[in-house]
Amino acid sequence: MQWAFKLLVAVQALATVVGKGIDANHYGLDTLPSRYLVQFPGEPGSASGIEASKKFYTQLQTLRVPYTITHNYTTLLNAAALTIDGQYIDSLGSLTNAKGTYALRTASVDDDAVGPTEHLTRPPMPMISHNYTGVDRAHSELKLTGQGIKVGILDTGIDLTHPAFGNCFKTAGCPIQYGYDFVGDDFNGTNTPKPGPKPIDNCTPHGTHVAGVVAGNHGVFKGVAPKATLGIYRIMGCEQLTSTEVVLQALEMAYTDGMQVINMSFGVPSGWSLWAEDLAVSALMAKGVYVVAGAGNDGDNTLWAISSPATGELSLAVGAAEIPEYYSLYLNVTANGTTTILSRSDQQRYLPAVNFLNVPVIRGFGASGSDDDDLACEELAVPAKGAVVVVRRGVCDMQTKASFVQKAGGILMIVYNNSTSPLGTPAYDSDTMTLPSFSVENEAGTTLINLLRTGQNATMSVDTSMRVCKNSAVGQPSWYSSWGPAPEGYIKPDLLAPGTNIYSTVPVNMGSYNLLTGTSMATPYVAGAIALMLESNRRGSQQQLLNSFVNTATLLYSSPGVPYSPAQQGNGLINVYNALTATTSMDRFINIATGYLTNMDKNFHKTIELTNHGNTPVTYNFEFLSSAAYSAFTKDKEAAIPPRPAKKYLDSFFHQKKMSANPGSSILNSVAIDPRAFDADQRMVVGGFINVYPAKGTVGVNLTIPFLGYAFEPENVPMLASSYNDIPLPCMSRRSTSEIIPKSGVFTMVGDDFPVIIYRLQAPVARVRVRITKASDPSHIHAAVTENFFSYLSKAMPSGQPYITYAWDGRGYHYNTPSKIIDLPNGSYHLLLSFYMTMNVTNPNTYTSPVITIKRPKKNV
C-alpha cells in the first residue's frame, strides 16, 4: 500500500537530512500542517453546542491566537476544522470550551489494488466467494438480497454508466439513490476540493469494484446484497487521496441521507482509535449506523499495523482471508503429454496482451547451467528464441532480467521466487522494453520449476482469459491483511472476508469487470452481509447483531489445534449463513480494557454469558484454544518483522466444561486464563479463543470469542528504534549542513542553522513531550516546547516515512503561560523528548539531545 505522507508539522520549519543512508525530505507524519479539528462540548447543532464554540473563538481572540474556520460540523460532531499554527496547540489544551483537538490528515485507499492498465472487456461471472462464506445460502435459502437497505459507500466514486448499477443515478428504481462528489478528479488531499453533484469515477477501478462487491447486479454477477440501495459519496479523486475534513463531511451527509450501513474507504495505517475519524465513527455507531472499515494492507509489517478508523473499539474492522478457489489468469503447462493448470499471481500490466498456444517454455539459465543459475542476471546460455523464459527473482533488478530475456529472443518472461513472500508485478521501463512479463506465486512457481526439471520438451499456453483456479494459500489469513491489535489493545481485525483476486465491476472504459486484491475488497463484503442481516427478520441490538457475525466466523488454524492469533485473524472467516441463523449468542470479545495483563502472576478471570434464542434446549461444551503468541520486537528490542512467535501457550480453566440452556434463557460460565508461562521481558501479545461448541445431540454452530492481552508493561515497550540504515537513532543533526552532531553544537537559529532531532518509532506512541533543560542543570525542566503537539503517532511503516524529524527553532514557553511563546535567551540547553506508549505511563522512554548552544547574532541597530 502506498500512503502519500508528505507533510510534517514541525514547530517552525522542516529538516533536510542528507546523511549517510538517510533520505532527504522525509518528515514522518501524515498530518496536515496547521490543520486541526477542534471538538466543542454540547450536542451537534444544539444552542448550547453553538454557544460553546463561540466561547472558544472568543478565548482564541483574547489570547491573540490567529485562526480560520474551514468547515463547521453540526450533525455528527460539534466541531470545526480550523487552520491554526501548531505551536498554539498547547495553549488550546487549557481552554475549557475545547473538548479535544485532533490533527487533520490525508488518507488513501488500500492500494494493493493497483488496477491493470490493460483494459480487456470481460463479462459478468458469479462471485466464487459466496460459495465459501454462506452468502450463496443466504441468497438461495433465506432469499435475502439487501432489498430496502441503504448502504453508503465513501470511495473514489463509481461509473454511473455501468450496467451492474442500472446505468442510472437517482432516477426511480435506480439502485443508486443518493450520492455526491465532494472532491472532483484532481483532489489530492491537500488542494481545494471541487465538488459536484454526481460521484462519477472513470479514472480508477477502485470505487466501482468495491460497490460491485456490495451490491452489483448484472446477469450472473451478484454482489453480496444485490438489491440494496446505494449512496455513493466520492471522497477521493483520481489520485485516490483524501483528507479528514472531507471524510467527516461525507459521513455527515451519509448520516443525513439515512444510510444504515457505511463502508469506510480510507485508512491510515498504524492508527489510533482516538483520531478524529474514529470520533465520527463512534458517533455514527451510537446513532445505530453500522460502520465497516478495512484493516489495511500492511500484513507484512508486524503488530499494530491496523489502519484507522478500523481501530475504533466499536466499528467492525475487516481483514482478508484465503478461500479454496478464486478466478485467476492462468498458464497451461504441458510436459510429458500431461497438462497442468497453474494460476498467475498478478494481472498483466504495462504491456500488450499475450496469446501463446503451445510455445516452448524453458528456464533462463546462464553460463554455469546449474539448477539455481536461472536468475537471468547475465546473458542466457540457453536457446530462448520464441520461448517463454522462466526466471527466479533476486540478485539483479527486473529491468536487467527482462533485457537479457528479450535479447535472447524470449517472447514472455515469467518470474518466480521460491520464498514465501509473494511477488508483485515485475517493474521495468515499459517504454523501452517490449517484452511482456508477469510473476507467479511461490507454490505455482515451485510446481512450474518441478515440471521443467523433469518434463521433456515442455510447452505452455497463455492467454488473457480467466478461470477458477485452486488457491494454494487456502485457510490462511491473507498475507497482506494488516495485523492488530489497535494500539490501545482492542482486538482488531474483528473478522476476515475474501479479499484476494476478487472479480467485480470496474468502469466500462476499463473493461467492465476485473480482479482486484486487498482488504478494500473484503470490507464491502461485510458491509453487504450486514445489509442482508438488516433485511432479515433477525432482531437484536446493534452490538448483538455484530456479535453474531463475529461469534459465528470460522477460525483459521496455523497448525492443528492452534488457531492464528486474534491479532491476525480476529475471529476468523465470516460465515454469513451461520450469523443469520444461529440461535445462540455470546459476547463479542474478551479484552482487557487497557490491553495490559498488568498482573502477570495471576489468572485473568472472565464470565461468559451464552443465550439460547431457540425453541429447544441446547447443551454446549466449553474449551479454550490458545493461539501462538507474538512479539513485535526481537529479543534485542528491535522491530521484529514478521512478528516473533513464542512456543508457549496460555493455560486455562473453565468453571464448567459443559452446560445446558433452556429456550429463552442465558447461562453463565467462567474461565480463568493463565498467562504465567510468559515472561514479561519477552513482550508477547498473547491470545486465544473461547470455543463453545454443541455437545452431541445439540444442533447448532460453534461460537467463539477471541481473547487478547499484552503480557508486558507499557513502560517496557521499546518505542524507539536504535538505528536506521546503520545510523544510530535518535540523533541530532544540523539542518543547514545535515551533519550529525554527536556531542554539542552551536546554532544561530537563523535561516537553516538550527538543530533537528531524528527518531524512528517502532511502536505506536500515545504522546511525545518536548521539553528543555539548561545544560548547567540537566535534571530540572526549564521550559516546554510542546506538551500535546505530538499525540497518537503511528509507528514507522515501510510504505510511509522511515523516521520523524523534529526541528527546533529555539523557542518555548514557561509552564504557566503556554500561549506566550518566547525566544529562549542565548545559552546552552538540552531538548528532552519523552515517549509514552499510553497516556498514563509513569516511566516514558526518553531521549536527551546533545548540548544545543544558542548564539543568535547581535542585531545591528
- Site residues (CB under 6 A) for ligand NAG? 4, 6, 53-54, 69, 71-72, 109-110, 126, 128, 131, 153-155, 188-191, 206, 210-211, 214, 263-265, 267, 293-294, 332, 335-336, 339, 341, 372, 392-394, 417-419, 421, 446, 449, 451, 454-457, 461, 463, 468, 519-520, 523-524, 554, 593-594, 623, 691, 693, 702, 838-840
Between CA 290 and CA 299, with CA 293 as vertex, the angle to 5 degrees is: 155
Please indicate whether residue 814 is annotated as part of the active site.
no
State the DSSP code for 583. S
Residue, CB closest to ligand NAG: 294
Torsion, Cα of 855, 856, 858, 861 (10° steps):
-170
Q: Which of 315, 481, 520, 791 is catalytic?
A: 520
Q: By C-beta, is 375 or 731 nearer to ligand NAG?
A: 375
656 or 736: CB nearest ligand NAG: 656
Say if CB 106 and CB 32 are below 8 A apart: yes
Q: Closest distance between ligand NAG and the C-beta of residue 423, in Å?
A: 7
Which residue lies nearer to ligand NAG by CB, 87 or 437? Answer: 437
Residue number with CB closer to ligand NAG (233 or 803): 233
Residue 153 or residue 435: which is nearer to ligand NAG going by CB? 153
Nearest to 590 by CA among 606, 603, 574, 602: 606
My answer on whether omega of the bond before 714 falls inside 30° of 0, hence cis, is no
384 residue type, one letter? A
Q: Identity (one letter) of the amino acid at 669?
A: N
Q: In whole angstroms, how far apart are CA 152 and each of 168, 178, 182, 259, 308?
A: 17, 8, 14, 6, 18
Rg (CA), the chain: 28
CB of 745 to ligand NAG, least distance (A): 32
Q: Please, what is the Cα angle at 334 between 328 and 340, to 5 degrees?
A: 40
Number of Cβ within 10 Å of residue 754's Cβ equals 23
Distance CA 708, CA 688 (A): 7
C-beta of 520 vs 568, nearer to ligand NAG: 520
Residue 358 CB neighbour total at 10 angstroms: 10
The set of cell numbers assigned to 634 is 526481537
Least distance from ligand NAG to the Cβ atom of residue 417, Å:
4
d(Cα 460, Cα 343) in Å, to the nearest integer? 13
The DSSP result for 157-214, as a single string, is -B-TT-GGGTT-SSSTT-SEEEEEESS-TT--SSS----BSS-B--S-SHHHHHHHHH
Residue given cell 437484536 in the structure block: 540
Distance CA 75, CA 620 (A): 45
206 is catalytic: yes
> φ and ψ at 494, to 5 degrees?
-85, -40
**Nearest approach, Cβ of 403 to ligand NAG (angstroms)?**
19
Residue 87: DSSP 8-state: G
Q: Which is nearer to ligand NAG, 267 or 812 (CB)?
A: 267
- Could you list the beta-strand ranges (E) of 401-443: 412-416, 437-439
Looking at beta carbons only, is 400 or 691 nearer to ligand NAG? 691
Q: How far is CA 836 from CA 597, 721, 787, 792, 846, in A?
A: 18, 14, 12, 9, 9
- Angstrom distance (rounded) from CA 676 to CA 109: 41
Exactly one of 155, 278, 346, 494 is catalytic; which is it?
155
Residue 329, Ramachandran bin (φ over 0: left; ψ between -120 and 50: alpha; else beta): beta
Question: How far, CA to CA in Å, does 741 sit from each of 736, 738, 756?
Answer: 12, 9, 10
CB of 856 to ligand NAG, least distance (A): 33
Rounded to whole angstroms, how far apart are CA atoms 205 and 185? 13
Backbone angles phi, psi at 585, to 5 degrees: -150, 160
155 is known as an active-site residue: yes
CB closer to ligand NAG, 326 vs 829: 326
- Distance from CA of residue 611 to its chain's centroid? 34
* Smallest separation, CB 521 to ligand NAG (Å): 8
Q: Kindly tell me the number of DSSP H helices and DSSP E strands found in the chain.
A: 13, 49
The catalytic residue among 206, 613, 782, 830 is: 206
Q: Which is nearer to ligand NAG, 502 or 831 (CB)?
A: 502
Nearer to ligand NAG, 585 or 849 (CB): 585
- Residues with Cβ within 8 Å of residue 189, at least 6 apart in sequence: 4, 32, 106, 107, 108, 239, 241, 242, 243
Least distance (Å) from ligand NAG to the CB of residue 4?
5
Q: In this complex, which beta carbon is closest to ligand NAG, that of residue 87 or of residue 520?
A: 520
Nearer to ligand NAG, 213 or 804 (CB): 213
Q: What is the closest distance, in whole angstroms, from the C-beta atom of residue 41 to ligand NAG in the complex?
A: 14
Residue 820: CB minimum distance to ligand NAG, A:
27
Distances in Å between the Cα of 501 and the Cα atoms of 115, 135, 240, 345, 612 are: 12, 18, 20, 9, 38
Cell representation of residue 117: 492498465
CB of 776 to ligand NAG, least distance (A): 35
**What span, in angstroms and rounded, lies between the C-alpha atoms of 733 and 724?**
14
Is residue 837 a contact partner of residue 719, using CB atoms and an 8 Å limit? Answer: yes
Instruction: Tell the smallest beta-carbon distance from residue 111 to ligand NAG (Å).
Output: 9
What the block records as the C-alpha cell of 456 is 521433456
CB of 371 to ligand NAG, least distance (A): 7
* Helix axis angle, 542-551 to 519-535, nearest 10°: 120
Least distance (Å) between residue 459 CB and ligand NAG? 10
Q: Could you give the residue numbers annotated as active site?
A: 155, 206, 520
